[in-house]
Structure 1
Amino acid sequence: MYKAIIVDDERWIVEGIKAGVRWEKYGFQVAGEAMNGQEGLALIEKLRPDFVLTDIKMPLVNGLELIKRGKETSPHTIFAVLSGHAEFAYAQKALNYGTFGYCLKPFEIEEIESMLGKLSQWLKHRAQQEPERDAQELYEVLCSGNEQLLAEKLSSAGMPLSASMPVTPIVVQGYVPAPYWEDIHHIRFRMNKRRVGLLVYSHLVESFLSPLDLSGNAIDYSIGIGPSSATPAELESSLEAASVAAYGSFSTGKGGVYRQVTPSESTIDDLLSELVGALALKDRMQFVSVMESCRPLFQRYVLTIKDAYLIFNTVMYLFTREGVKEHARFLEGYDQLYYDYGHSDAMIDYLVKHTLSHLSDELSSRLAGVTHNRIKEILTYIHHHFNQEISIQSLSEKFYLSPTYLSQLFKKEVGENFVEYLSRQRIQYACKLLAETDMTVSQIGEKCGFNDYFYFTRIFKRLNGMTPTQYREAR
């Protein structure tokens, strides 16, 4: 029998669930009950149950905290939540904590029994995986770097290493239905709550992966494949490569199978150098340009999560060095980067947004004088993209306003028409580049969004009273 605990501060609900649900039919017995989260935690520590059904809103310790702390105390325990409609958002959040499911109040007995049926099958399958404990010891040895002991462990697990029978490590990020790998000899170990490592003989890898359906767009897992390994030393580094490759979905935004990327040190070094230069000059346009250039590199899997980690922490370090500590937050590992942002695009968006106040004092003051929220959005967009092709027509389509109304509203809120404002932004940036770089006037014009050199110099002279060359000489 599987041990279950019910935690709810309403006695009638506890008694109703105990009496109404056919626990024994699904292989469970109610081993304890608690009227608040604190009592529930004490029961979990004492009984180490297989299953806990808990309310969300309770005194002393709420359901979310109970799940979080309960998993630390008893990692094998499975949780599900009871929730009123008003607490539905909390129930959804509980799913992110790794709960098995939830039932909304007022609940039906059949709903709970249906969940118990599924849970019973899941627990039976988990019990069949218990031999993996030996594999966990092998994984610990693999991480320790003890090559002799690792060779012994592999041999005892029926997977000795040799040049004629090399082994390939595979790392699964996310959930893949377990039965697909049951027919081929392998060693399976858990790396953390969301990652599973596997060792397979190299000649069987394609057969091992062939049952996977990778044709859809809704694949919620990412698989990393390491290089083939014939020695314990190779296996350790290969597992690291597979582990990084398993974050391939972070780069591309798509689940699937990823292999090790040949590192391009020059690419990431150039990007970091450009970021350092942009932040040193407080050149937001250049900073945004560099960050935007990273997007296609991530999408094509040229850049990996290792590169994302370097980019993120470099920007945070430079912020700290400049004394802008309110924006600085350093990542401790790839996992934190993956679970905080999920996709390289989200990380890039975060860095672009959080450099705004440090690099754009003028925009902040400009927005302070604008009352219409849509115009604020448009000004921010222009500030980020003024070196690109922008027109009233393109803005009206992007922000769902008619061109005529947008022109009138822009003039009213900003005090000048769109073309004047855009030209002023471009020329201000041109002044910065003329003073701080060695680029030619023609290059600066193009970088600021002017495709015509003579038009650029004419607008520059109209706004500054001198040509770009005269401006540079006067600095």
Structure 2
Amino acid sequence: MYKAVIVDDERWIVEGIKAGVRWEKYGFQVAGVAENGKKGLELIEKLRPDFVLTDIKMPLVNGLELIKRGKEISPGTVFAVLSGHAEFAYAQKALNYGTFGYCLKPFEIDEIESMLAKLSQSLKQRNDLEPERDAQELYEVLCSGNEQLLAEKLTSAGMPVSAALPVTSIVVQGYLPAPYREDIQHIRFRMNKRRSGLLVYSHLAESLLSSLYLSGNATEYSIGIGPSSADPAGLEASLEAASVASYGCFSTGKGGVYRSMAPKESKVDDLLSELAGALAQKDRMRFVSVMESCRPLFRSNALTIKDAYLIFNTVMFLFTREGVKERAKFLEGYDQLFYDYGQSDAMIDYLVKHTLHHLSDELPSRLAGVTHIRIKEVLTYIHHHFNQEISIQSLSEKFYLSPTYLSQLFKKEVGENFVEYLSRLRIQYACKLLAETDMTVSQIGEKCGFNDYFYFTRIFKRLNGMTPTQYREAR
């Protein structure tokens, strides 16, 4: 039987799930329940369960933190989340941490049982993963760069490589799905706990690939395909390319099959240059703008995990160079990046949040004077997006508050109304751009979120007592 743990601070929900779901039918038993995330982590450490079903918003430790820390404690545990409609964005974010799925409250018992049926099959496949062909020694030789010994190992394994019989590398990120075409000759090896490699003759690759891809839910794993190699000497590079491609799920947020791309002019150098300039000038909006521009590039797979690794460590290095007292975090490899963040959006969110205190002098002091948690969230959002289209109406929809109540609460907590606050933020940024760049006044107005040049100059003069042009000339 698979061990399951339920974590929710609403006791009646826990009891309802525990009693109403036919756990044993799907091979599970509820080994423990917890009323908050802290006790949930203690249960995970004690029981090492196969499955944890957790709420999102809980006291002491929330569901997202529970999943992240729980995976560190028990890497083999599978997580799924319960979430109210108002917390749907959190449930979606939980998917970035590698969760199996989520159920929206109010939920149906059938919905949970359907998830258990899929999970039971997935766990069974995971437990049946011992390779039929023990090829770990061959993998070690492949990584060693000893071409002669590799050729010998491939021949003894029944897969000699030649121009007539080139070989293709395949890497599966996650647990290798089964069943697959055993009748197709291939060599299979474990690269680490989360990644498996396969070598197959190129003319049979599509057949093997189809059996792998169709054997289960494609969103549960990501497959990378390397270039064909007609020489043992090229297999190491082929496997490396397939390995990078297998992280396509990190870039796009979607599982599936990703083929290695031919070398081309990378956009990452320009992005790194922009990020360096933004950090040097302590220009938060420029930094956020560059990071946001990365999102569609990752989603289209124009940027890979190699680029993400460069971006992350470069930002951390620049923090160190700028003398930031906060301890910088450096990644040791793609696996750590994938394990810590799961998906490029989560990495970008972290970097944007991480730069907050370094690049913004006003927000921390503003937040310190605000008591209402929702207004803290609204203020943070405004500081991240003030150069975009933003209104009380859009904020009320995003934060689930009525426009009237939000306006009143904002004025009470912040001391000025939303329009005044937003205008002042935009004009402060305009002053920075006027002093530090050669952009035209019109360009600066647009970059600060003003679509009307004359409205921009009017607001600027009202707040500064002079026009943008006069301000620049006085610097």
Q: Give the TM-score range, shorter chain.
A: 0.7 to 0.9
**Offset, 1:124:** 9.9
C-alpha distance 441-191 of structure 1, shift in aligned 2 (>3 A): same
Aligned to 2:464: 464
Aligned to 1:142: 142
The code of the aligned residue for 2:234 comes to: E
C-alpha distance 340-82 of structure 1, shift in aligned 2 (>3 A): closer
Larger Rg: 1
**Correspondence list, 1:28-427, <5 A:** 96-98=74-76, 129=131, 131-132=133-134, 135-213=135-213, 219-427=219-427
8 A contact 1:288–1:384 mirrored in 2 = yes
**Offset, 1:96:** 3.6
CA distance, structure 2, for counterparts of residue 249 and residue 122 of structure 1: 20
The code of the aligned residue for 2:187 comes to: I
Point out the more displaced range, 264-273 or 302-311: 264-273
CA distance, structure 2, for counterparts of residue 82 and residue 169 of structure 1: 32
**Offset, 1:327:** 4.0
8 A contact 2:396–2:403 mirrored in 1 = yes
8 A contact 1:445–1:451 mirrored in 2 = yes
SS of the aligned residue for 2:179 comes to helix
C-alpha distance 471-166 of structure 1, shift in aligned 2 (>3 A): same
CA distance, structure 1, for counterparts of residue 360 and residue 433 of structure 2: 16
C-alpha distance 270-175 of structure 1, shift in aligned 2 (>3 A): same
C-alpha distance 126-413 of structure 1, shift in aligned 2 (>3 A): closer
8 A contact 1:55–1:81 mirrored in 2 = no
Q: TM-score, normalised by structure 2?
A: 0.74
C-alpha distance 171-124 of structure 1, shift in aligned 2 (>3 A): closer
CA distance, structure 2, for counterparts of residue 217 and residue 391 of structure 1: 41
8 A contact 2:147–2:233 mirrored in 1 = yes
**Offset, 1:204:** 0.8
CA distance, structure 1, for counterparts of residue 46 and residue 152 of structure 2: 41
Aligned to 1:30: none
List gaps (5 residues or longer) in structure 1. 1-53, 57-61, 68-78, 102-116
CA distance, structure 2, for counterparts of residue 277 and residue 406 of structure 1: 36
CA distance, structure 2, for counterparts of residue 418 and residue 55 of structure 1: 47
**Offset, 1:263:** 4.3
C-alpha distance 448-236 of structure 1, shift in aligned 2 (>3 A): same
**Offset, 1:326:** 2.2
CA distance, structure 2, for counterparts of residue 99 and residue 383 of structure 1: 38
C-alpha distance 204-382 of structure 1, shift in aligned 2 (>3 A): same
Aligned to 1:108: none
Point out the more displaced range, 436-445 or 213-222: 213-222
CA distance, structure 2, for counterparts of residue 100 and residue 447 of structure 1: 44
CA distance, structure 2, for counterparts of residue 82 and residue 401 of structure 1: 35
The code of the aligned residue for 1:412 comes to: K
8 A contact 2:187–2:200 mirrored in 1 = yes
Q: TM-score, normalised by structure 1?
A: 0.74
Percent identity of the aligned residues? 79
Aligned to 1:442: 442
8 A contact 2:179–2:212 mirrored in 1 = no
CA distance, structure 2, for counterparts of residue 277 and residue 427 of structure 1: 21
**Offset, 1:312:** 0.2
CA distance, structure 2, for counterparts of residue 249 and residue 279 of structure 1: 29
Question: How many pairs does the alignment contain?
Answer: 386
SS of the aligned residue for 1:323 comes to coil
**Offset, 1:191:** 0.6
**CA deviations over 1:128-159 (Å, ceiling 9, x no partner):** x4641xx1111111101111111111111111
C-alpha distance 100-388 of structure 1, shift in aligned 2 (>3 A): closer
CA distance, structure 1, for counterparts of residue 227 and residue 450 of structure 2: 49
**Offset, 1:167:** 0.3
8 A contact 1:224–1:248 mirrored in 2 = yes
The code of the aligned residue for 1:387 comes to: N
8 A contact 1:217–1:254 mirrored in 2 = no
CA distance, structure 2, for counterparts of residue 122 and residue 298 of structure 1: 30
SS of the aligned residue for 2:180 comes to helix
**Offset, 1:469:** 1.0
C-alpha distance 175-394 of structure 1, shift in aligned 2 (>3 A): same
Deviation beyond 6 Å, 4+ runs, structure 1: 62-67, 79-83, 88-92, 121-124, 215-218
CA distance, structure 2, for counterparts of residue 411 and residue 66 of structure 1: 48
8 A contact 1:214–1:256 mirrored in 2 = no
**CA deviations over 1:153-198 (Å, ceiling 9, x no partner):** 1111111111111100001111233321312100011111111110
